[in-house]
Amino acid sequence: MFDSGSTGFMLVCTSLVMLMTPGLAFFYGGLASKRNILGIMVQSFVSLGWTTILWFVMGYSLCFSGSMADGTDFAGIIGNLDKAFLNGITHNSPFAGNGKIPEYVFVAFQMMFAIITPALITGAFVNRITFKAYFIFLTVWQILVYYPFCHMVWGGGILAEWGVIDFAGGIVVHATAGFAALASVIFVGARTNKNSTPNSIPLVAIGSGLLYFGWYGFNAGSELQVDGITANAFINTDVAASFALITWMVIEWSREKKPKLVGILTGSIAGLATITPCAGFVPLWAAPIIGIFAGAGCYIAVLWKNKQQWDDALDVWGVHGIGGVIGTILLGVFASLSVNPAGNDGLIYGNTTFFLKELAAITLASVYGFVFTYLILWLINKITTVRVSEQDEIDGIDMALHGERAYDEGCL
C-alpha cells in the first residue's frame, strides 16, 4: 500500500529533525554563560515534550485540517479541529499529499518542525526569562503564531492559495521565530551583564554538528518522498551552508584578523537557515550564490544589531530571522519550474508577480511574528512576571530557577 523506500526515508528524516532540538540545546548551552547553561537547555527539551502534547491534542489539526479552497478552515488563516487527538487517522491512513507514506509519518515529521521553531527563539532572551513565563509563552506562541502560518503556507490556507511557496520553513519557521526573538529582546530588555562569554565552545561545535546533520532531514525530507527533488534539496543544503560558512569566516578574518570557530559555526547555521525555503525549488548553480548572500547578509545583520544595542544574546534575529528573509527573497529570484513543477519560476525567468508574492509573504510573517510576540509577552507579564529578578540573573538561572548546576566545581 505504501512506498517502503519513501516511508523508511521519511522516518529517518523525522528522527534527524528531532535530533536538531537537542542539538540546539547544546549549541545554545555552549554559548550561554556558565551559570545559565541548564536554563537554556531546559527550554529546548521542554519543547520536545510539551509541543508533542499540543500537536497531538490540536496542533496538527489546526495546521492541516480544512482548506481555504474547500471553505473548511477559518478564513484561510487556521484549520479546524476535525483531526484533534488525531481523530480519524489510523496506521493505514495514507498521507493525502502523495499517498506514498502513512499519515502518521507526516504527523510526526511536521511535529518536529513545531518543536524546534519556538525553541529557536530562546537564544535571544537567555538568562532573562522565568520558566513559568516561558512555559506559557511556548503554548500561546504556537497557537497564535506558528499554527496560523503553518496552515496558511503548508496546510492549504490563504498564502498557499495565493501561490506562496516555502520548501522547508524560511517563512513558517525562521522568519516567524527570528522576528519573535527580536520582539522578545525589545520587551525583556538587555542583560545586566552583556559581557558573558561562551562557557564551552566545544559544546557549541557539538550542537552545531547535530544541527548541520539534522538539517539534511529538515530540507531533503520536506519533499515527503524519495525522488530527484529530494536529492536536489540535499545537495543545495550542503553547498549553500558551505559557502556561507567560508563567507562568514573570510569577512570575520579580514575584520578581526583571526578566523574564529564560533563565527565559522554561526556562518554554517546562517547558510542552512537561508537555503531552507529554496532547497527543493532552485537549481544547484544558485546554491553558492544563496550561501554567499547568507554569510554576508547575516554577518552584517549581527553587526547592525550590535550597533543598535539590541541584546539578542545568541543572534537569533540576525541568523534565523534575516536568514529566512534573505532565503525567501532569493527563492523569489531563483525558483525554477524545471527543477520542481510544484514550485514556480522566479524573477530571473521573468516572473515578477511570484517574486512580489514571496516578498509580501515574508514581510507579513516578519511583522506578524514581531507584533504578536510582543503582545503575547505583554499579556503574560500581566499574569506572571516575565523577567527574572536582577539577583537571580546575577546568580544565574540554573540554580535560581532549576536548583542545578551544569558543572560540579567541587570535583576535580
Contact at 8 Å (CB) between 103 and 94?
A: yes
Contact at 8 Å (CB) between 155 and 67?
A: yes
Q: Round to whole Å and give the CA distance between 274 and 294.
A: 6
Residue 63: its pLDDT value, please?
A: 98
Residue 1: its pLDDT value, please?
A: 84
Radius of gyration of the chain (CA): 20
Q: Is 194 helix (H, G, I), strand (E, B) or coil?
A: coil
- From first to last of the 412 residues of the chain, give the pLDDT tens digit: 899 999 999 999 999 999 999 999 999 999 999 999 999 999 999 999 999 999 999 999 999 999 999 999 999 999 999 999 999 999 999 999 999 999 999 999 999 999 999 999 999 999 999 999 999 999 999 999 999 999 999 999 999 999 999 999 999 999 999 999 999 999 999 998 777 789 999 999 999 999 999 999 999 999 999 999 999 999 999 999 999 999 999 999 999 999 999 999 999 999 999 999 999 999 999 999 999 999 999 999 999 999 999 999 999 999 999 999 999 999 999 999 999 999 999 999 999 999 999 999 999 999 999 999 999 999 999 999 999 999 999 999 999 999 999 987 655 4
Residue 411: its pLDDT value, please?
A: 52
CA atoms within 13 A on the CB side of 134: 29
Q: Is 74 helix (H, G, I), strand (E, B) or coil?
A: strand
Residue 193: its pLDDT value, please?
A: 78
Count of Cβ atoms closer than 10 Å to residue 378 Cβ: 12
**End-to-end distance of the chain based on CA atoms, in angstroms?**
58
Calculate the CA dihedral of residues 93, 96, 101, 105 and round it to 10 degrees.
-70
Q: Full-prediction pTM beyond 0.75?
A: yes
Residue 138: its pLDDT value, please?
A: 98
Q: Where do the domains of the chain lie, and which CATH numbers do they carry?
A: 4-399 (1.10.3430.10)
Residue 412: its pLDDT value, please?
A: 47
φ and ψ of 403, to 5 deg = 65, 30
Residue 43: its pLDDT value, please?
A: 97
Residues 6+ apart with CB under 8 A from 220: 13, 230, 231, 233, 234, 237, 279
